[in-house]
Amino acid sequence: MLESENREKELKAAIKTENIPHHVAVIMDGNGRWAAEKGLPRYEGHRQGVEAVRLTVRNSSYLGIKVLTLFAFSTENWKRPVSEVNYLMSLPGKYLQSELPELIRNNVRVRLIGDSKKLPRRVQKAVNEGAEATKENTGMILNFALNYGSRSEIIMAVNRLVDDVKKGRNIGSVDEIIFSSYLYTADMPDPDLLIRTSGEKRISNFLLWQLAYSELWFTDVYWPDFSRLHLLEAIYEYQKRKRRYGSV
């Protein structure tokens, strides 16, 4: 038996099913370097990255994770060459077209977080159709963060709150619960676990408010190589952490 198969068995036996993180957020990094190391064009890294998305969605739903949030395109990613942006923009539609039947079978609900109005029409349409087709599903929520930036989300929330006050909504003094209700993640729990691949150790403007008490797990593995084994390693490590939320 392969060493990785052995490790996977060990992890499965060690992971406590009653302490699976409810919300896992992922910064899927390293597609470009994965491709470069193989002498391939960058888009091949993104293409293989979609395969890792397929597996991770399947494995997360199977493990009983309630919310999986994937950082697929940031508000800063528009700075990339047009051809790469166009390729990245083709991925949500392609993924949903091929995966929707399985997502429906697995009771997964698709959602989008981010400034969707600035996405190309076809991307909005594909994700909205995916969200509509799965809106009654009660299993895992699969959030695609597309044109997402946390600072712009916070500014958006402040502006919407100010608008509501101007319209006469009696908000009183704003507390964390009220403020959270204006974010894209309004009705979701904060992430318990953040995973970032590729060896980088940054948050990169992702869920700054929501990650306040999340456990962070970093791996050197490039996103296209991220497998069930790595997801299990992350969860195993998460379960070893003592979450104190500022207490002793």
72 binds ligand FPP per the rule CB under 6 A: yes
CA 59 to chain centre: 14
226 binds ligand FPP per the rule CB under 6 A: no
Comparing CB distances to ligand FPP, the nearer of 206 and 223 is 223
Minimum CB–partner distance for residue 54 and ligand FPP (Å) = 8
Is the distance from CB of 205 to CB of 151 less than 8 angstroms?
yes
Binding track, positions 149-188, relative to ligand FPP; x by CB under 6 A: ----------------------------------------
Query: Which backbone phi and psi does 207 adopt, to 5 degrees?
Result: 50, 45
SS3 103: helix
Comparing CB distances to ligand FPP, the nearer of 31 and 219 is 31
114 binds ligand FPP per the rule CB under 6 A: no
| Residue ranges in the chain assigned as alpha helix (H) | 3-14, 31-37, 42-63, 82-105, 121-133, 150-166, 176-180, 228-240
Minimum CB–partner distance for residue 48 and ligand FPP (Å) = 9
- Candidate ranges 15-23, 42-50, 134-142, 177-185; the one touching ligand FPP (CB under 6 A): 42-50
Comparing CB distances to ligand FPP, the nearer of 75 and 210 is 75
Tell me which of 92, 130, 149, 191 binds ligand FPP, using CB under 6 A. 92
What does each C-alpha distance from 235 to 16, 70, 129, 194, 246 come to in angstroms? 9, 16, 31, 10, 22
130 binds ligand FPP per the rule CB under 6 A: no
Which of left, alpha, beta for 232 (phi over 0: left; psi -120 to 50: alpha)?
alpha
Closest residue to ligand FPP in the complex (CB):
32
Rounded distance between C-alpha atoms, residue 174 and residue 209, angstroms: 15
25 binds ligand FPP per the rule CB under 6 A: no
Q: Given the DSSP bridges, would you call strands 23-27 and 67-74 parallel, antiparallel or unpaired?
A: parallel
143 binds ligand FPP per the rule CB under 6 A: no
User: Catalytic residue numbers?
Assistant: 29, 77
Rounded distance between C-alpha atoms, residue 55 and residue 208, angstroms: 26
Q: Give the binding site for ligand FPP (CB under 6 A).
A: 28-33, 46, 49-50, 53, 72, 77, 88, 91-92, 95, 144, 198, 223
